[in-house]
Structure 1
Amino acid sequence: MKCIKVAMSMTLSHFTDAERFRAFRSDSTRWLPIALDIARSHGLDVSSPQVFATGTNLVVGFGEKLILKIFPPLLLAQFVSERGSLTQLAGRLHLPIPGIVAEGMRDGWPYLIITRLAGTLGSEVWPSLPEAQKERVMRQLGETIAAVQRAPLGPLSQIEPRWDAFMRRQMQGCRSRHERLGLAPKFLAGLDDLLSDATDLIPMDAPPVILIGEYIPENFLLACHNSEWSLAGLFDFGDVLTGWRDYDLLGPSAFMAAGRPGRVRSLLEGFGYAKPDYALKRRLMALMLLHRASDLNSHICIEGWQDKANDLVELQDLIWAG
């Protein structure tokens, strides 16, 4: 009874900036009792909660089957995106995604209770996979991206920002962003030409598709069967956009392909593209620089890439080799 009374006397505060919220999230003693109280109200077994330290929101696992995600009002858009995506994609993919078990609101913070997927976090397995199995997973990722994009938008069509407004805003801030992040002058020198090309290369008014934005090892699960690793689940739909389909090739290209022709080919073929030509590489290079999380110095997983390319054209050939 004492624990319940303590939880009921605690409230979730409203934060006006992300830094204060991150500090709050990092100290689970300040919010875990409330999370446990929410879980109890839905009849969950709270005897062995697992706090997930990484991620954006407050996330707690309960047993092997359920997860509670609590979203601060500051990140209400992520709740809308996650809820809408899980609802819209339910039953439409060959790959498991979380199902919504319950939802609610606590002190103005919306939350979801979702099913917990089986498998091993991709980031724990990916570095040690043999090359042939990396190519296999890349092909499966391409196929999964294409499958997500075949799903109808439904309520996700109302997600903001809209693609054309998002792209134009990213273009306006692109140079200042990459100057601030320390992109080498030899790459900055070609930025204006690339942005000029981008207005023709990137469709602004084509029929939009669902864009997850982060097909990276931290957001999918793998499972091993007969010594073969395969995709086993996809999660984290808090950053969904709608727009041009190629945008979702960027995460695997930057974080996983490592400029290896076999991986690049597997990803693109799984997605439905043939060997990358100049126009596709140029468009992907533009989109990579315009991505909402773009930071080439931190995100391109090719050792020594800054010394292997002299300009953006050589860089696009290095990233999408083959």
Structure 2
Amino acid sequence: MTASLPAFTDYESFSPWRADAAQWLPIAHDIARGHGLACTAPHVFATGTNLVLALDENLILKIFPPLLRDQFVSERGALAQLQGRIRLAIPEIVVEGERDGWPYLVFTRLSGELGADVWPSLPEADKERVLAEIGETIAEVQRAPVGPLGQIEPGWNVFMRRQIDGCRARHARLGLPQKFLDGFDDLLRDAVALTALDGSPVILTGEYIPENFLLSRGTAGWHLAGLFDFGDVMTGRGEYDLLGPSAFMTAGMPRRVRSLFEGFGYSAADVTPDLKRRLMALMLLHRASDPLRHFCIEGWQQKATDLHELQDLLWPI
């Protein structure tokens, strides 16, 4: 008899259980069989947050623990809302269900090379092209109607106020040098106004990073081929989604930054000190913000003496 999925009260207890795939693979196979789906070439994806198994070359099963049900709601809603509304390939839901209180999705598997595997070795021209395509994709996603995603809680203003309240303590705990923490009072004092919606909220993934997209190589070089992992989708101010590429990919290089921003629809003239200050605030307030471990500019802690210099280092145009 197939075992049941256990109950977990926190992610700390769930994570080691998840890492031992032998604990849950038989249940995943049973779910697939229950829907008449073959599991001919199973492959466990070790990274990420949930239980993710490729059944074969065409389908992926993603199982969400009850404590991460919000991610299931976001992923299911985002895939449904964006299907057919953007040019870039995204997974298509084939089956959804629930097992022992754990919701799951089966969706199509995209083709391409994982960005995290390919990005470091790409020629610079290809990196600039991919960043432009990421900017275009962000803008395209944000032109789609938010639909039911607008009901995801917390809403933008509540989310921002929570982030503001915990911002200094978070970054002090993560080890951000004092010279940057010294600028937090001024920035956080203005953060509500800086991050306020400038129109209707738009769809945000919060994670346009190499781990969440696929690349393919054509005659003209490497291109963006697919986007996946929509578990953190919310709605809010559009510039929030420029932060992932800015932290992990642009490396403070003017041509890369310009490629990303122009793809998004911002010219060099749009990148004013006010915009940089807003981006700096959003960067520090991002739910995954961790400059010491995420900023890909070598020696950035020595190159900048305060937040003003840091924002010019991140967005040097």
**Normalising by the residue count of structure 1, what TM-score does the alignment of the two structures yield?**
0.96
After TM superposition, the structure 1 stretch with the greater mean CA deviation from structure 2, 188-197 or 242-251, is 188-197
Where do 5+ consecutive residues of structure 1 fail to align? none
Residue 8 of structure 2 corresponds to: 15
Find out whether 1:192 has 2:185 as its counterpart: yes
- CA drift of 1:277 comes to 1.1
The Cα offsets for residues 244-296 of structure 1, whole Å up to 9 and x where unpaired, read as: 00000000000000000000000001001111110111000000000001111
Picking from 16, 19, 25, the partner of 1:32 is 25
**CA contact under 8 A between 2:251 and 2:295: conserved in structure 1?**
yes
**CA contact under 8 A between 2:41 and 2:57: conserved in structure 1?**
no
- CA drift of 1:200 comes to 2.3
The Cα offsets for residues 141-168 of structure 1, whole Å up to 9 and x where unpaired, read as: 0000000001101110100110000001
The residue type paired with residue 306 of structure 2 is D
Alignment of 1:302-313 (within 5 A): 302-313=297-308
Q: Give the 3-state SS of the residue equivalent to 1:223 in structure 2.
A: strand
Picking from 252, 263, 270, the partner of 1:259 is 252
The residue type paired with residue 281 of structure 1 is K
Find out whether 1:314 has 2:317 as its counterpart: no
Alignment of 1:274-313 (within 5 A): 274-275=267-268, 276-313=271-308
The residue type paired with residue 137 of structure 2 is T
The Cα offsets for residues 161-216 of structure 1, whole Å up to 9 and x where unpaired, read as: 10000001100111111111111010000011111232222224731000000000
Which whole-Å CA distance do the structure 2 matches of 1:202 and 1:60 have between them? 38
Which whole-Å CA distance do the structure 2 matches of 1:227 and 1:244 have between them? 34
Corresponding pairs, count: 315
Residue 169 of structure 1 corresponds to: 162
Picking from 56, 60, 63, the partner of 2:53 is 60
Q: Give the 3-state SS of the residue equivalent to 1:114 in structure 2.
A: strand
**CA contact under 8 A between 2:204 and 2:240: conserved in structure 1?**
yes
**CA contact under 8 A between 2:167 and 2:284: conserved in structure 1?**
yes
Which whole-Å CA distance do the structure 1 matches of 2:175 and 2:135 have between them? 31
Find out whether 1:110 has 2:103 as its counterpart: yes
**Normalising by the residue count of structure 2, what TM-score does the alignment of the two structures yield?**
0.98
Identity across aligned pairs (percent)?
A: 67
Q: Give the 3-state SS of the residue equivalent to 2:249 in structure 1.
A: helix
Residue 211 of structure 1 corresponds to: 204
**CA contact under 8 A between 1:213 and 1:248: conserved in structure 2?**
yes
Please give the root-mean-square deviation of Cα atoms over the aligned residues, in Å.
0.9
Alignment of 1:65-104 (within 5 A): 65-104=58-97
Where do 5+ consecutive residues of structure 2 fail to align? none
Q: Give the 3-state SS of the residue equivalent to 2:52 in structure 1.
A: strand
Find out whether 1:182 has 2:175 as its counterpart: yes
Divergent runs of 4+, >4 A: none
- CA drift of 1:24 comes to 0.9
- CA drift of 1:76 comes to 0.3
Which whole-Å CA distance do the structure 2 matches of 1:65 and 1:48 have between them? 10
- CA drift of 1:62 comes to 1.4
After TM superposition, the structure 1 stretch with the greater mean CA deviation from structure 2, 72-81 or 41-50, is 41-50
The residue type paired with residue 233 of structure 2 is V
Which whole-Å CA distance do the structure 1 matches of 2:282 and 2:208 have between them? 15
Which whole-Å CA distance do the structure 2 matches of 1:28 and 1:199 have between them? 43
Q: Give the 3-state SS of the residue equivalent to 1:257 in structure 2.
A: coil
Picking from 193, 214, 226, the partner of 1:221 is 214
Alignment of 1:117-156 (within 5 A): 117-156=110-149
**CA contact under 8 A between 1:164 and 1:205: conserved in structure 2?**
no
Residue 236 of structure 1 corresponds to: 229
Which whole-Å CA distance do the structure 2 matches of 1:48 and 1:125 have between them? 23
- CA drift of 1:227 comes to 4.8
